[in-house]
């Protein structure tokens, strides 16, 4: 927690929609395999999936993907609490979790 009682979202994991977009190549920013990727995801869909997985998330519409400024929006997801414990023990990390890959 920050001093004013708000959550410190700056420490949360950042997910850009391009990370899971099946229409993008790895060079363009896709981070997962095509078989697990989805077509043209947006921040709201990612946030809804995080809510379904009981993971706190924050949509930042005003942020752009650094490699392509036309890709607007990102989602911050809390995987671990301030004390280091997992928010959802079934999801250990964003890379190894099949739940986040299936979004």
What CATH number does residue 64 fall under? 3.30.56.30
The alpha-helical segments, DSSP class H, found in the chain are 43-52, 98-102
Per-residue pLDDT of 11-56, as tens digits, reads 999 999 999 999 999 999 999 999 999 999 999 999 999 999 999 9
pLDDT-based confidence at residue 97 (cuts at 50, 70, 90): low
pLDDT of residue 90: 87
Is the predicted pLDDT of residue 5 greater than 90, yes or no? no
Domain count, the chain: 1
Residue 2 maps to a domain:
no
Please, how many CA atoms are within 13 Å of residue 47, restricted to the half-sphere of its CB?
A: 12
Q: Domain range spanning residue 82? A: 13-102
Helix (H, G, I), strand (E, B) or coil at 78: coil
Do residues 101 and 36 touch, judged by C-beta distance below 8 A?
Answer: yes
Residue 90 is assigned to a structural domain of this protein: yes
Give the integer Cα–Cα distance in Å for 71 and 78. Answer: 22
């Amino acid at each position: 927690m920050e001093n004013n009682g708000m959550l410190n979202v700056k420490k949360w994991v950042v997910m850009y929609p391009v990370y899971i977009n099946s229409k993008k190549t790895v060079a363009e920013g896709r981070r997962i395999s095509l078989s697990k990727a989805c077509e043209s995801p947006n921040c709201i869909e990612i946030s809804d999936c995080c809510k379904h997985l009981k993971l706190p998330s924050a949509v930042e519409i005003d942020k752009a993907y650094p490699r392509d400024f036309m890709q607007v929006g990102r989602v911050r997801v809390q995987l671990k609490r301030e004390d280091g414990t997992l928010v959802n023990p079934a999801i250990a990390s964003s890379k190894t979790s099949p739940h986040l890959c299936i979004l």
